[in-house]
Homo-oligomer: A and B are copies of this chain.
Amino acid sequence: MNQYWSIRIQNIVPYTPGEQPRDRKFIKLNTNECPYPPSPKVIEAIRAAAGDSLRLYPDPECVELRSAIAKREGLDISQVFCGNGSDEILAFAFQAFFDLDKEVVFPKITYSFYPVYTDFFGLRRKEVPMNPDFSDPIELLCGENGGVVLANPNAPTGIAVGLSVVEKLLQANPDVVVIVDEAYVDFGAESAVKLISQYPNLLVVQTTSKSRALAGLRVGWAMGDAGLINGLRCVRDSINSYTVDRLAQAGAAAAIEDEKYFQFIRQRVMATRERTEKELKGKGFTVLPSQANFLFASHMRYKGKILLDGLRERGVLVRWWDKPEVEDWLRISIGTDEEMAVLIAALEELIRS
């Protein structure tokens, strides 16, 4: 705190990103990054864009990148908006579509940035309790509210819902915007993109950070009715007209266009996830059914914090939250097979000791 801080930030508890260690080589299974490098075509596109034209502002409308996304998804370019990562897009959407009069609803256990957004933008929220099996409490997200946010698959649980469930949510909330955060959708869940033409209240948010192996590039996008896209544009142009730099636009467009590499990455991550899930279960872990690039797991005899610290001592970072509902759970990103073997060996050692 400082005497010059506004009321807005005096009582805010900001989001805490997963640790990005600078000092030592860890096996990083804590921020759901992709263990594989980006497509060689992405690197090529970035290197080609790294030239004299950097002296000029980027295209504020990201036309080439949006065209690539629209083409892949069968949308019109007017239905696509690009930003500096899906976090920025979510922050824009909370400002563009939610008001103070009614509560924004989302599940109690979900991406921990959502409550930060409602606090920071002066909104009210209702966090509805999960079903006993940690699946999304869909009934409680229907009805009188000021907007709905659903991560699908959910984080940190990894559990996905089917399109019929998303559709139910859209039909039950026709007067408010339903944001479906699909950061992890490419690892086995079904995208709601195909519902956009029927539901003008649907905003689907995706990112290059996970399945395109480009967390370091900061590109996310929203897809929805052009009316919603224009709302996001209005927020952006009230803050910072150029949020996606030239290199990021070029690299992300190349990533979207390299479907073959994308399929290679997602298949490998899913295969490693299936193997890791089996191994963890064999060691006494309960593992939620994941359609994401991470597993949410809890051991019958060991506290989450003990395992977190023990893994860290053995050079493996995973994510843990100091919240009663999930304090016995770890979120473990899917790395390479070799990294997961180190994880399993470290857990074995911990459990034996």
Contacts and interface: CB of A to CB of B under 8 A. Distances in A.
A45 to B, nearest CB: 9
B57 A215 contact: yes
B247 A46 contact: yes
A5 B282 CA distance: 50
Contact of A38 (B52, B116, B209, B213): B52
A59 to B, nearest CB: 6
B22 A231 contact: no
Nearest to A247: B247
Given A15-B238, A238-B120, A245-B248, A216 B53 contact: yes
A17 B238 contact: no
Contacts of A138: none
A300 interface: no
Interface in A97-116: 97-99, 116
Contacts of A33: 55-57
Nearest to A237: B14
A15 B218 contact: no
Q: Please tell me how many copies of the chain the complex holds.
A: 2
Contacts of A91: 239-240
A90 to B, nearest CB: 9
Contacts of A177: 4
A286 interface: no
Interface residues of A, number: 88
Nearest to A83: B240
A217 interface: yes
A237 to B, nearest CB: 3
B213 A54 contact: yes
B14 A238 contact: yes
A195 to B, nearest CB: 16
A243 interface: yes
A57 B242 contact: no
Contacts of A98: 6
A216 B55 contact: yes
A241 B15 contact: yes
A53 B20 CA distance: 12
B119 A5 contact: no
A213 B8 CA distance: 35
Contacts of A15: 237-238, 241
B238 A6 contact: no
A94 to B, nearest CB: 9
User: When A and B form their complex, which 7 residue pairs have the shortest distance between CB atoms, in order from nearest?
Assistant: A14-B237, A2-B227, A37-B52, A216-B246, A120-B238, A54-B216, A55-B213
11 contacts: A2-B228, A3-B175, A12-B234, A16-B237, A20-B56, A47-B47, A85-B242, A87-B241, A91-B240, A119-B238, A218-B245
